[in-house]
Amino acid sequence: MPVSTGLDRLAEDPRPVRGRRIALLSHAAAVDRDLRPARAVLEAAGARAVLLFAPEHGFDATAQDMVSIDHARGEIPIQSLYGERFEDLSPDPTRLVGLDLVVVDLVDVGSRYYTFVWTALLTLQAAARAGVPVLVLDRPNPIGGVNVEGAPNRPGFTSFVGLEPVAVRHGMTIGETLRLCAARRGFSRSLEVLPMQGWSRDRPFDCADVPWVQPSPNMPTRDTALVYPGACLVEATNASEGRGTTRPFEIVGAPWIDGPALARRLDSEKLPGVRFRPLAFEPTFHKHAGRRCGGVQIHPTDRDAFRPYRTGLALIAALREIGGDAFEWRREPYEFVADIPAIDLLTGGDEVRRAVESGAKVDDVLEALRPQEDAFRAERTEYLLY
């Protein structure tokens, strides 16, 4: 059975939006099976779109990471939900007055760090307080809905890469994640999710009948999404996560890294479902732009067995071990937080950073946090739709 996303279903049955005055939170990646953008589908369905909300990277998905986006005027005004301050991440309440409905259609990639689900949560919160219902058009989790990796972020480590305690690789769709978070925050009555048809949790990775349009400049393929829960951790260091190359997050390294040594070190761990190929690369922008870097490309060989988060932790530890004094944690503010290291925000606590710094085994930390991961896995069950 082919997959019909929430947007596809709305095109077939427009009653939920017909004649209603709506705001749309979306971006260029949200298309139907015929590659029509969400706005066009909604307008063809008879909705009266009067306002667009743009998440990080902008409505056209062209801005780089952590770059504030300005509001825009045009046929329909666009309010940016990614600015200079944390307060800029929520809709202006005055813009919600007179709306019948807020529609959300965003392509998520299955990792807590990816900020779109948190933009959607803040929008839901603002809409609920304004008495405006929210309709989420659900989409596949491109890295599957079965595997869960990485304990949820602990108290004191919430941020825009985790506004609620959620596992790093959560195995949920954006609709399911919002159902869980809305229940925690008491906004469930304001939320409706239009489920997909034909998608199952163990759906093959490529999900070929759902077109892939990159949701951000450095998420070009589903392969990128697969490695992202682990390789994104490199953002929290002075090594390159491959931005400025044609394979972001699949390629990592630094000028002070010996690529073959890094590959040997990682292959020696015999991590499941992955191999590491040594290489040299030269980023055209971002970290180490124009400098020759040594590093590796991450090659998943078995998508079912591959554990991207565990792989990313091994990668961080190996970069520090091989880089020695040249390796550093990111010191600049990260996603509107200046007083907590970026690595702690990404991993959800300080346990991983302390283990890497002391040379302790990462597996010991993961085992200590396993009960929290298991608790999340159990909690999410109530909110699954497929």
pLDDT tens, residue by residue, 245-287: 999 999 999 999 999 999 999 999 999 999 999 999 999 999 9
* Strand 251-254 relative to strand 48-54, pairing: unpaired
> Has residue 205 got a pLDDT over 90?
no
212 and 317 housed in the same domain: no
Please give the model's pTM, rounded to 2 decimal places. 0.95
110 and 168 housed in the same domain: yes
The per-residue pLDDT for 316 is 97
Q: Which domain holds residue 33?
A: 6-216+378-383
Average pLDDT over residues 279-304: 97
pLDDT digits (tens, 9 = 90+) for 141-167: 999 999 999 999 999 999 999 999 999
The per-residue pLDDT for 69 is 65
199 and 296 housed in the same domain: no
47 and 127 housed in the same domain: yes
177 and 293 housed in the same domain: no
**Alpha carbon of residue 175 to chain centroid:** 14
186 and 295 housed in the same domain: no
Residue 246 inside a domain? The answer is: yes
Average pLDDT over residues 232-242: 98
> Has residue 129 got a pLDDT over 90?
yes
> Has residue 208 got a pLDDT over 70?
no
Cα angle for residues 70, 176, 115 (degrees, 5° grid): 25
Domain count, the chain: 2
* Strand 293-300 relative to strand 251-254, pairing: antiparallel
Which of 60-74, 113-127, 164-178, 284-298 shows the lowest per-residue confidence on average (mean pLDDT)?
A: 60-74
The per-residue pLDDT for 42 is 97
69 and 138 housed in the same domain: yes
> Cα–Cα distances in Å, from 121 out to 44, 243, 340?
27, 27, 23
| CA quadruple 182, 184, 188, 194: dihedral, nearest 10 | 40
Residue 227 inside a domain? The answer is: yes
pLDDT digits (tens, 9 = 90+) for 51-87: 999 999 888 877 777 666 665 666 889 999 998 899 9
> Has residue 317 got a pLDDT over 80?
yes
251 and 174 housed in the same domain: no
| CA quadruple 316, 353, 338, 249: dihedral, nearest 10 | 20
Residue 142 inside a domain? The answer is: yes
Q: Which residues of 179-195 are buried (b: 16+ CB within 10 A; e: fewer)?
A: bbbbeeeebbebbebbb
Residue 371 inside a domain? The answer is: no
The per-residue pLDDT for 203 is 78
Residue 231 inside a domain? The answer is: yes
109 and 164 housed in the same domain: yes
Q: Which residues of 214-232 are buried (b: 16+ CB within 10 A; e: fewer)?
A: bbbbbbbebbbbbbbbbbb
What are the backbone angles phi and psi of residue 162, rounded to the nearest 5°? 165, 80
Question: By the 8 A CB rule, do 271 and 307 touch?
Answer: yes
CATH number at residue 226: 3.90.1150.140
Q: Considering the chain, what is the average pLDDT of its residues? A: 95
CATH number at residue 109: 3.40.50.12170
